[in-house]
Amino acid sequence: MPTIVMCRPLHASGMALLEARHDVTIRQLARPGPAELEAAIPGAHAVLVGLEQVDEPLLDRAPELKIVSRFGVGYDTVDVDACTAAGIAVVITPDGVRRPVAVSIITLMLALTGKLFVKDRLTREGPLGFARRSEHMGVGLVGRTLGSIGVGNIGTELFRLARPFDMRFIAHDPYVDQEIGAELGVEFLSLDDVFRLADVVCVNCPLTPETRHLVNAERLALMRPTAYLINTARGPIVDQKALTEVLRERRIAGAGLDVLEQEPPDPAEDILKLDNVILTPHALCWTDQCFAGIGAADVKAVLDVQHGREPRGVVNRAVLETAPWQRRMAAYRERFGR
């Protein structure tokens, strides 16, 4: 009977899919720390992880493991090469996060340009705050330029949702299909030009060795003093020290960050003291619908593998062509049927 280790509870809809099956065993970790995961992983055939580290030493403890399913789309905490070498598929859940994360970006853009938090504070000050309303005029979006670093799953959805705002769309993505740009009305430019021209720059690329500190002091210096930076991807893509300095010196208008270089941050971190940045705890997209979508995608991927079917969202597609993987899938089809 296949065993599934879950590092975080699923939405009720996802759990219902699993609990309806009598041919799987569920190990739900109450406190998914490294020690707990190491203790639970032996004998597991599948593991559902959040931001837990999945590395070679952990994989060595799980010779039966066939699939690592990520709760979301980032997989920088998973050693993909080690998984491929071990014949393990790494799966992400793009369908579950596409709309929720894109909505989060829109939420931050509207809050920043509308001076939402500033006006909230003014209101709480009573008559004195009301008297200063005209000092904090918001920024209209019609004709402004929305830029995205990356036009993948989430970047594409962002541009689709932003169409009614009548903004100009620009982006940088060396891997994107140019036909997508034509469909979305996006002009593809150099990375520096996106920082130079956009009124709102959104980070929508994965964290890799190449993208670590992609948003650095030099690129932040290209931004307009009226521009905003939004990052809902991964904290280390942005050089947080450089961003803190830019915000402190008011060289850009503000930032919206759902992610930080260190999570959770040190309470003494300088960026937490600034009033021109909106911060959320890597959870702005967390809604009932988001968790339902992710959970359903995770469960479907696990059950697909159990029945010998190729799961959706495989990151390391090379593993699907290996003889060990194909033998395992054939054995599962024989054992559990389609």
DSSP 230: E
Q: Which fold has domain 98-275?
A: Rossmann fold (3.40.50)
Q: Is the Cβ–Cβ distance between 232 and 252 less than 8 Å?
A: no
Q: Which of 99, 196, 234, 328 is catalytic?
A: 234
How large is the angle between the packed helices 94-113 and 153-162, nearest 10 degrees?
Answer: 50
Residue type, position 239, single letter: D
| DSSP structure string for 54-97 | B-HHHHHT-TT--EEEESSS--TTB-HHHHHHTT-EEE--HHHH
CATH fit for domain 3-92+288-336, picks 3.30.920.30, 3.30.70.270, 3.40.50.720, 3.40.1190.20: 3.40.50.720
Confidence (pTM) = 0.89
The C-alpha angle with vertex 225 and arms to 220 and 228, in degrees rounded to 5, equals 65
In whole angstroms, give the CA distance from residue 64 to residue 77: 21
Neighbours of 308 (CB within 10 A): 18
DSSP 46: E
Q: Which of 38, 125, 263, 310 is catalytic?
A: 263
Q: Is 11 a catalytic residue?
A: no
For residue range 174-226, list pLDDT tens digits in order: 988 888 888 999 999 999 999 999 999 999 999 999 999 999 999 999 999 99
β-strands 277-279, 3-6: how paired?
unpaired
pLDDT by 10s per residue, the chain, length 338: 578 888 877 666 666 666 666 667 778 887 778 888 999 999 999 999 988 999 999 999 999 999 999 988 889 999 999 999 999 999 999 888 999 999 999 999 999 999 999 999 999 999 999 999 999 999 999 999 999 999 999 999 999 999 999 999 999 999 888 888 889 999 999 999 999 999 999 999 999 999 999 999 999 999 999 999 999 999 999 999 999 999 999 999 999 999 999 999 999 999 999 999 999 999 999 998 998 898 888 888 988 888 889 999 999 999 999 888 888 888 888 877 65
Q: Which two tokens stand for residue 112?
A: 């920043």
Q: Which of 11, 99, 282, 328 is catalytic?
A: 282
The whole-number pLDDT of residue 26 equals 79
The sign of the CA dihedral 184, 185, 188, 192 is: negative
Say if residue 116 is exposed, middle or buried (CB neighbours under 10 Å; 0-12, 13-18, 19+).
middle
Question: How is the chain split into domains, by residue range?
Answer: 3-92+288-336, 98-275
In whole angstroms, give the CA distance from residue 315 to residue 206: 12
| DSSP structure string for 247-280 | HHTTSSSEEEES--SSSSPPTT-GGGG-SSEEE-
In whole angstroms, give the CA distance from residue 336 to residue 338: 7
Residues 6 or more apart whose Cβ sits within 8 Å of residue 294: 11, 14, 71, 72, 93, 96, 97
Q: Which two tokens stand for residue 119?
A: 């006006």
Q: Is 263 a catalytic residue?
A: yes
Q: Is 282 a catalytic residue?
A: yes
The whole-number pLDDT of residue 28 equals 82
Neighbours of 124 (CB within 10 A): 8
Say if residue 126 is exposed, middle or buried (CB neighbours under 10 Å; 0-12, 13-18, 19+).
exposed
Fold equal for 3-92+288-336 and 98-275: yes
